[in-house]
Chain A
């Protein structure tokens, strides 16, 4: 607790902001996987975070994969070279992309050279994140049902001149052919601003 109070008093640094955003991605992706039924509900367990009861996975392979991606994201957020994170949900049978959850990241590069932290309270950031996650849960009501078995993939849009690390490779953007888009809420830590949106395939029979 002393550490958190100290952080509140000290303000938001670049590293602290990167950690907050990476943590949000970790919980957000878990929520999406649970809500859309990509993995069976019995493989999820409840935790308390941002003042909400969120569900995170217990599957060790999936946890390992998510940790790898989130750790890499933290590094890239600290260096301000990541522009977007996309969760692509596609059908296993015909590899057709059915949904695309996109998170745009705008980074204030001046914070790299600043030494003094910026003034924004942890509580305000948590409230914003809470509203984003609630909205993600609420959007599930109007999204079309995923009837076939689906798998997900995480795409990261970065600067062109970044060196591709081991175990990562370039991929296509995986657009949806005939899509509807909905823009969701955003939150900011004064150093990173995250905009959320979801695109889904239009039903062939309206």
Chain B
């Protein structure tokens, strides 16, 4: 209610305010006059201020009312909230009480349950203890049982083992008894076999002996066969050699005849060769002479031609005398004339040169004079111009003087008139003013005058300059005209110059074409050289790898060459030695090393095999010779031993004493029979047997003898029989 009342008052005040403002605005518009009194404006301003104050008051009042309304609303809302809160608090308190009661009930229950739990735990513990004690007792009982059972088992096992052993032992005894019997039987059998084997062995040894005897016989027979075969082959060789020798001997006389013929032919051919040489030299000499004569002939022909030409020339020279009519008889006159002409030519040339010099000097002087005239004329024109300028100045000054005098007269007249006028009246200020104005007019007119005079003088100067230029041009025209007439004379000179220049141009063009041709040729050469690989040593250099294939190939080649040369030299030495017939020295044997290693290995193998064969033969020979000597001794009864070089000892089974022997010494071996043998008996005396010389034709045999015992004689005789010597007694030895 209060709010509504407040609102209406607010609105009513606002309306009144707006009305008042509208009235004032209308009133204000009628008073808008510019430039009237200031008091009306102040009144308006004061009224406006008052209105504004009222408006502000009303506005604040309305704001206050609004705030109060809001406050009331807030208080209401606050009260409502408080009421609600109180209600909520009440309900919460009731809930809280209920829950506290519940809590207490639950606590009492928990306590009861806890007491029950404790009792149950105690019971459990007691029962667990009882269980443990029972278990322990059970364990002890079970252990005891197990021990007893194990003991029982062990006892059973021992019983079974013992039983087994007993049975085994019985078995073993049985077996051994069986074995004994079997071994006895075996022993008997083996004894019987032993006897049998023994017998067989005896038979086998007998057979071996017989076989060995037969083998030795076989070997002897084989050797005999080989000896016979060797002898046969030797005899064949000898037969062949004899045949060849006979054939060669037959050829020998023929060869001698042929030799003689060849020597004669040789001598003949040598003579023919000498003759041929001599003839060839003669032929060469003759050919050279022929050539020389032909050359001389050709020279003759040319000389004759020259002779004729010279005669013709002489005749023409002689005719010159008649043709020229210059009193010439000899070439000397001609030469003198020529000299005179040349001197005249020289003189004329000198004159020519002096004249040309003079002409040039005169031309130069003329040009200088022309230049001077031009200068002088220009100076003249300058002087003229200056004079005219001065005259114009003088005229102007005279005119000025006249004008000034006229002004002066006029001014004097005016002054006099003024003076005459001044005494009657007293209009001095006006007159002063007029005077001042007149003076000013006069000054302005003077200034205007000086300006015009200045312009005039400038114009006159310009006119003077133009006139001077025109006169200068006229002078130059005259000079040029004068020059034109001299130019006609020099036309000929310029034509000559033009011709000379044209000739030069042609020469230069010819040179240019030649140079172009040379340039093209040089470019072609350069192209060719670059294709060939040429280069500028000052800007480029040529590099290559040191170990390049070409150098490696060269090195290999050199080494091969050196090796081949060395081989060549070695082979040459070998050839020389072989041709000389000497043995190959060890140093050259290395040449044969060029054989392949395979051949060397084969040769080595062959050498080894040959050496082995040699050794085997030696061994076989040793055994065989010992057997042979034994057999000889047993069959014949005599043994021959070698004591030293060329001395032999003969011993016999039939000697009276064991130490008896005959000593023999060989003096000379002949082709077919042992010729000289000296002998001595060991116990009796020395004895020398000197059988005679044996030759193809046959000869006597002599024996020197000494005192011997009967046995020694017997031995000697037997020896003679064996060696087929005829004894003869000498005087010494009869005793």
Q: Please report A residues at the B interface, Cβ cutoff 8 Å.
A: 62, 65, 68-69, 83-84, 86, 88, 90, 92-93, 95, 100, 102, 104, 149, 151-160, 162, 164, 167-176, 179, 181, 183, 197, 199
Q: In the complex, are the beta carbons of A159 and B540 less than 8 A apart?
A: yes
Q: List 25 A–B pairs whose Cβ atoms lie within 8 Å, in order of A's numbering.
A: A65-B545, A68-B545, A83-B540, A92-B550, A100-B532, A102-B533, A104-B530, A151-B549, A152-B550, A153-B550, A153-B551, A154-B544, A155-B542, A155-B543, A156-B542, A156-B543, A158-B541, A159-B541, A168-B544, A168-B545, A168-B546, A170-B541, A171-B543, A199-B532, A199-B533
**Contact for B533 among A156, A159, A171, A173, CB less than 8 A:** A173
Q: How far is the CA of A95 from the CA of B551 in the complex (A)?
A: 10
Residues of the B chain whose Cβ atoms lie less than 8 Å from the Cβ of A149: 553
Q: In the complex, are the beta carbons of A65 and B544 less than 8 A apart?
A: no
Main secondary structure of the interface of B (DSSP, over half): mixed
Q: In the complex, are the beta carbons of A160 and B538 less than 8 A apart?
A: yes
Q: How far is the CA of A69 from the CA of B549 in the complex (A)?
A: 12
**Contact for B544 among A100, A153, A162, A176, CB less than 8 A:** A153
Q: In the complex, are the beta carbons of A92 and B532 less than 8 A apart?
A: no
Residues of the B chain whose Cβ atoms lie less than 8 Å from the Cβ of A158: 540-541, 543
Size range of the interface on B?
20 to 34
Q: How far is the CA of A168 from the CA of B528 in the complex (A)?
A: 29
Q: In the complex, are the beta carbons of A153 and B549 less than 8 A apart?
A: yes
Residues of the A chain whose Cβ atoms lie less than 8 Å from the Cβ of B550: 88, 90, 92, 151-153
Residues of the A chain whose Cβ atoms lie less than 8 Å from the Cβ of B540: 83-84, 157-160
Q: In the complex, are the beta carbons of A65 and B547 less than 8 A apart?
A: yes
**Contact for A154 among B533, B545, B553, CB less than 8 A:** B545
Residues of the B chain whose Cβ atoms lie less than 8 Å from the Cβ of A169: 543-544, 546
The 8 A-B pairs at the shortest CB distance, nearest first, are namely A181-B531, A151-B553, A151-B550, A153-B550, A171-B544, A153-B548, A92-B553, A157-B540
Q: In the complex, are the beta carbons of A93 and B546 less than 8 A apart?
A: no
Q: How far is the CA of A92 from the CA of B535 in the complex (A)?
A: 26
Q: How far is the CA of A152 from the CA of B539 in the complex (A)?
A: 26
Q: Give the A-B pair count, Cβ closer than 8 A.
A: 101
Within the complex, the shortest CB–CB distance from A139 to chain B, in Å, comes to 14
Q: How far is the CA of A174 from the CA of B533 in the complex (A)?
A: 9
Closest to B528 in A: A181
Residues of the A chain whose Cβ atoms lie less than 8 Å from the Cβ of B539: 159-160
Residues of the A chain whose Cβ atoms lie less than 8 Å from the Cβ of B165: none
Closest to B535 in A: A157
Q: How far is the CA of A56 from the CA of B531 in the complex (A)?
A: 27
Chain B, residues 110-132, CB within 8 Å of chain A (1/0): the string is 00000000000000000000000
In addition to A160-B540, A167-B547, A170-B541, 12 A-B residue pairs with Cβ atoms within 8 Å of each other are A69-B545, A84-B535, A84-B540, A92-B553, A93-B557, A102-B533, A104-B530, A154-B548, A156-B544, A159-B540, A168-B546, A175-B533
Closest to B539 in A: A160
Q: How far is the CA of A176 from the CA of B528 in the complex (A)?
A: 13
Q: How far is the CA of A196 from the CA of B545 in the complex (A)?
A: 22
Within the complex, the shortest CB–CB distance from A138 to chain B, in Å, comes to 18
Within the complex, the shortest CB–CB distance from B163 to chain A, in Å, comes to 90
In the complex, B184 has a CB within 8 A of chain A: no
In the complex, B554 has a CB within 8 A of chain A: yes
Residues of the A chain whose Cβ atoms lie less than 8 Å from the Cβ of B538: 160
Q: In the complex, are the beta carbons of A160 and B545 less than 8 A apart?
A: no
In the complex, B534 has a CB within 8 A of chain A: yes
Residues of the B chain whose Cβ atoms lie less than 8 Å from the Cβ of A183: 531
Instruction: Find residues 39-60 in chain B having any chain A CB closer than 8 Å to their own CB.
Output: none
Residues of the B chain whose Cβ atoms lie less than 8 Å from the Cβ of A152: 549-550
Q: How far is the CA of A160 from the CA of B545 in the complex (A)?
A: 17
Q: In the complex, are the beta carbons of A173 and B544 less than 8 A apart?
A: no
- Give the most central of B528, B533, B538, B542: most A CB within 10 Å: B533
Residues of the A chain whose Cβ atoms lie less than 8 Å from the Cβ of B553: 92, 149, 151
- Give the most central of A95, A173, A179: most B CB within 10 Å: A173
Closest to A168 in B: B543
- Give the most central of A65, A151, A155, A164: most B CB within 10 Å: A151
Residues of the A chain whose Cβ atoms lie less than 8 Å from the Cβ of B533: 84, 86, 100, 102, 173-175, 199
Residues of the A chain whose Cβ atoms lie less than 8 Å from the Cβ of B531: 102, 181, 183, 197, 199
